[in-house]
Homo-oligomer: A and B are copies of this chain.
Amino acid sequence: MTNEERFMKEAIALSKKSIEQNEGGPFGCIIVRNNEIIARGNNRVLVDNDPTAHAEVVAIRNACRHVGTFQLENCEIYSSCEPCPMCLGAIYWARPRIVFFANTRQDAASIGFDDSMIYQEMGQDLSHRKIPVVNLCRQEALKVFAQWAAKQDKTLY
């Protein structure tokens, strides 16, 4: 068994724990740096009443707490399922070096999770979305963006 397979089995074990302890859906994730597991997460949507508590988001938050920054450079993410758009977005903001996944988004759809639908919606024009998205007060909000752009002591992220 390769190291990568060994780490993925840990993520899959977390996905099993998630449903056996009724914490959420069958999803687990671990984050590895220098061949060492630095964070774990499993789906906690049900136990936390939190629709954002997917395994990857939970693991990324734990990993960032562990390393003390909002970036996961040189880290590897092992997820028991292909990340949904929310989790993939979180991964891009966290910037790990690589992502491994086991079940696919189609596998997730086949047991009732809407990942595929959400991927389709991402590419839809705003006027064709299932949840309406409406622009409002842009000129007012642009002033705060200009204030950020002009801010001298800001931390870029």
A: residues with CB less than 8 A from B are: 4-5, 8-9, 12, 15-16, 19, 22, 24-26, 45-46, 48-52, 57, 60-61, 64-65, 68-72, 78, 80-82, 84-104, 107-108, 110-112, 114, 117-119, 121-123, 131-138, 140-142, 144-145, 147-149, 151, 153-157
Contacts and interface: CB of A to CB of B under 8 A. Distances in A.
A4 to B, nearest CB: 6
Given A123-B123, A131-B96, A138 B104 contact: yes
Given A85-B122, A89-B87, A114-B92, A26 B131 contact: no
23 contacts: A5-B137, A46-B70, A49-B64, A50-B61, A50-B64, A51-B64, A51-B70, A51-B90, A51-B157, A52-B52, A85-B86, A85-B92, A85-B122, A89-B89, A93-B114, A96-B131, A97-B132, A99-B133, A100-B133, A101-B133, A102-B135, A102-B140, A111-B149
How many copies the complex holds: the figure is: 2
Contact of A136 (B91, B101, B141, B148): B101
Given A12-B141, A103-B138, A131-B91, A45 B70 contact: yes
Contacts of A118: 89, 92-93
